[in-house]
Amino acid sequence: MKKTLDEILYLVEKPARYIGGEVNSVMKDDLETKVRVGFGFPDVYEVAMSHLGMQILYGLQNTIEGVYCERVFSPWTDMESQMRENDIELFTLETKTPIKELDLLSFTLQYELSYTNILNMLDLGNIPFRSKDRTEGDPIIFAGGPCAYNPEPIAEIMDLFVLGEGEEVNVELIELYKTHKQNGFARKDFLEAAAKIEGIYVPSLYEVTYNDDQTIASFGPIHENASPTVTKRIVQDMDNVYYPENFLVPFIDIVHDRAVLEVFRGCTAGCRFCQAGMIYRPIREKSVDTILNLAKKMIESTGYDEVALSSLSTMDYSQIEKLIYKMIEDSEKDKIGISLPSLRLDSFSVEVLEEIQKVRKTGLTFAPEAGTQRLRDVINKGVTEENIFNTLEQVFTEGWNRVKLYFMMGLPTETYEDLDGINEIGNRTTHLYKTIQSPKKKGGVTVTISTACFVPKPFTPFQWQKQDAMETFIEKQKYLREIITNKKVKFNYHEAQSSYLEAVFARGDRRLNEVLIKAYELGCKFDGWQEHFSYDKWMEAFEICDIDSMFYTSRERTLEEIFPWDFIDVGVKKKFLWREWEHALNGEVTPDCRNNCVACGITQVFNSGGFC
């Protein structure tokens, strides 16, 4: 006899992942609901619930009259087995509605290796994988998020994509749906109408052809409503844009269990490997008053005792010291901790750090990214050895003794000298700690060196660059393992095989849809989780589909090549990225453009105000 949902919850590891009902989750009256929306996150609850975009869009979409937005996350494998065994379809967390009954279901694309989880969720919901196979009774399936800036590898799966920041465009899309539903909904008409909204890409309205050498010959619209260029959406006014005061508070531990306050969007540092630094331009800040006001309300509504100040580089917030002093003043009596998720080595302010330390002290993370100045110049990471060691000296003097240092391997022009440089930074750091004379010093030092394998991303100056071969990555990892002999330095690294697959999909084209579906059919899911990732199954899928995965990773591109993402206008222009690529190869640095514009192109598209 089949079990019910209530019964299977007793049989899974963490039932709280599936029950909903958390503080600040939204329940609505059925009668008032005209449009039912699902916010899908293709990973397990603990990851999904830590995502700021989920908190924003869940809250925002529930403010729209007549709309009910519920959450849909990937069930962990134990739950999935129970659901399949007992014929339970994937359901929303709030009302346990099968996802097939929703009107719209969105997915946020944070990581290329979560794509098979989207297929798994559709499969569990009995929804056809491909847009062309879905019929009037199926929900509209769409996606947004950073990976949507190259939508092509999942273009046949999505009915549409939302490009850029979601606060305005998602509302416009849902309102359009509402109107179509009132007037007798027809899927095709809705998609054609949606294509007219700025920032919306409907893949079925575009056609792509290929050259004999497999590169793209042409890419363009085949319907009058579809524009040859889709321009990303940005929010202009960060003080008045919706921000959730009522964060959802989970019953169980999640990856980041705290209130998160976004202080600004965009970045002007110009690191050449960083996609976020290019696609989220221009810089737009919230005012100190807005942030303080939100912090107060969030603490009241959630009971959290920690607020993370979030952005791409929070120390670059123009009012950072004022903000921190005010926050400390407001929160000290309640022992509210303030955390800064990542710190830049150049703009580091020890004064700010001291203020935070008064309340709570945690480990610190820095990202020099490369082991030598030469390579840091190539990637335009504007930090010097002096910056690094001055900062470390100050934090050690203040009593910190745990630091994590992030690096990338396989950056353009990298040599073994650059890897030696990583080891030297580790050794110099532990040596520096020994020399520190400070009453605040406690115990020994722990330095963790983490290396990731470099993945060239669209809309960066390195989008033309090939990725290191997997054997090269493995050799380099082995080399670092051998040379890092300092007992106070821990070394860890990211597996090369998953970075390879990430690189294939990051710059992939429409032909990868077939491979993705085949890989899922072969059993791939939770590819971002090492224990589930099967490189062999993926390679089998490429073979069955007769597609050479190395086409996407192992060749340098020419300036003339048409990229699958060229039709998207992110503001920053291709000619600027090419210029930066040439500067990189010459080891020439481009300073932070905050004080000296280097004409990336963003102002030609957006009258952005702010620093531009």
Residues 6 or more apart whose Cβ sits within 8 Å of residue 242: 56, 59, 60, 63, 167
| Interacting residues with ligand SF4 between 211 and 270 (CB under 6 A) | 268
Q: How far is the CB of 279 from ligand SF4 (least distance, A)?
A: 12
Place of tokens 């983490």: 450
- State the number of binding residues for ligand SF4 (CB under 6 A): 12
Q: Which residue has the tokens 């060239």?
A: 456
By rule CB under 6 A, what string of x and - marks binding of each residue 534-573 to ligand SF4?
----------------------------------------
Q: Which is nearer to ligand SF4, 311 or 549 (CB)?
A: 311
Task: Decide if residue 593 touches ligand SF4 (CB under 6 A).
Answer: yes
Which of the residues 284 through 303 are near ligand SF4 (CB under 6 A)?
none
Of 285-293, 370-378, 408-416, 599-607, the window that binds ligand SF4 (rule: CB under 6 A) is: 599-607
Peptide bond into 282 cis (omega under 30): yes
The answer to whether 199 and 233 have CB atoms below 8 angstroms apart is yes
| Backbone dihedral region for residue 422 (phi beyond 0: left; psi -120 to 50: alpha; all else: beta) | alpha
Q: Give kind and range of the element (H or E) at residue 116.
A: helix 115-124
Q: Which pair of structure tokens corresponds to residue 361?
A: 């002290």
* Cα-based angle 94, 167, 298 (whole degrees, multiple of 5): 65
In terms of CB distance, is 356 or 584 closer to ligand SF4?
584
Cβ proximity to ligand SF4: between 37 and 577 the closer is: 577
DSSP 3-state of 10: coil
Residue span binding ligand SF4 (CB under 6 A) among the ranges 3-11, 168-176, 288-296, 591-599: 591-599
Coil vs helix vs strand at 41 = strand
Q: Which amino acid is at 508?
A: G
CB under 6 A: which stretch of 298-306, 350-358, 533-541, 594-602 binds ligand SF4? Answer: 594-602
Q: Is 382 helix (H, G, I), strand (E, B) or coil?
A: coil
Choose which of 148, 453, 470, 612 interacts with ligand SF4 (CB under 6 A): 612
Considering the complex, state which of residue 314 and residue 499 has its C-beta at the smaller distance from ligand SF4: 314
Q: Which stretch binds ligand SF4 (CB under 6 A): 15-23, 143-151, 300-308, 595-603?
A: 595-603
Minimum separation from the CB atom of position 577 to ligand SF4 (A) = 12
Distance in Å, CB of 168 to ligand SF4, minimum: 21
CB of 363 to ligand SF4, least distance (A): 32
Half-sphere exposure of 226 (CA within 13 A, CB side): 21
Segment near ligand SF4 (CB under 6 A), from 108-116, 162-170, 250-258, 592-600? 592-600
Among the candidate windows 355-363, 374-382, 422-430, 596-604, which touches ligand SF4 by CB under 6 A?
A: 596-604
Distance CA 413, CA 376 (A): 11
CA–CA dist 527, 520 (Å, integer)? 10
SS3 372: coil
Q: Which is nearer to ligand SF4, 430 or 603 (CB)?
A: 603
Token pair 């990298």 is found at 414
With respect to ligand SF4, which residue has the nearer C-beta, 226 or 602? 602
Contact status, residue 226 vs residue 205, Cβ threshold 8 Å: yes
- For the chain, the C-alpha Rg in angstroms (whole number) is 24
Nearest to 114 by CA among 455, 526, 486: 526
**Which of 332, 363, 597, 609 touches ligand SF4 by CB under 6 A?**
597
Determine the interface stretch with ligand SF4 among 284-292, 481-489, 506-514, 593-601 (rule: CB under 6 A): 593-601
CB of 611 to ligand SF4, least distance (A): 6
Of residues 144 and 266, the one with the C-beta less far from ligand SF4: 266
Q: Which is nearer to ligand SF4, 79 or 283 (CB)?
A: 283
How far apart are alpha carbons 324 and 338 in whole angstroms?
Answer: 8
Nearer to ligand SF4, 140 or 602 (CB): 602
Q: How far is the CB of 607 from ligand SF4 (least distance, A)?
A: 11
Name the token pair of 61. 């979409």
Taking phi first (over 0 means left), then psi (-120 to 50 degrees means alpha), and beta for anything else, what does residue 587 get? left
What mask, x for binding ligand SF4 by CB under 6 A, covers residues 267 to 286?
-x------------xx----
In angstroms, give the least distance from the CB of 275 to ligand SF4.
Answer: 15
Site of tokens 């869940």: 58
Residue 92 CB neighbour total at 10 angstroms: 24
Residue closer to ligand SF4 (CB basis): 291 or 612:
612
Rounded to the nearest 5 degrees, what angle is found at the Cα of 365, between the Cα atoms of 361 and 366?
135
DSSP 136: T
Cα–Cα distance between 223 and 220 in angstroms, integer?
A: 9
User: 455 or 602, CB closer to ligand SF4?
Assistant: 602
> Between 162 and 279, whose beta carbon lies closer to ligand SF4?
279
Report in angstroms how near the CB of residue 67 gets to ligand SF4 at its nearest: 35
Nearer to ligand SF4, 62 or 314 (CB): 314
With residue 200 as reference, give the H or E element that holds it. strand 200-201
Smallest gap from residue 177 Cβ to ligand SF4 (A): 34
Minimum CB separation of residue 601 from ligand SF4 in Å reads 7
Which residue among 53, 296, 603, 605 contacts ligand SF4 (CB under 6 A)?
603
Q: Which is nearer to ligand SF4, 282 or 410 (CB)?
A: 282
HEC string of 285-348 equals ECCHHHHHHHHHHHHHHHCCCEEEEECCCHHHCCCHHHHHHHHHHHHHHHCCEEECCCECCCCC
| Span near ligand SF4 by CB under 6 A; candidates 85-93, 157-165, 506-514, 597-605 | 597-605
Among 39, 103, 602, 606, binds ligand SF4 (CB under 6 A): 602
Between 270 and 564, whose beta carbon lies closer to ligand SF4? 270
Closest to 155 in 3D by CA, of 567, 604, 609, 595: 567
Residues that bind ligand SF4 (CB under 6 A): 268, 281-282, 593, 597-600, 602-603, 611-612
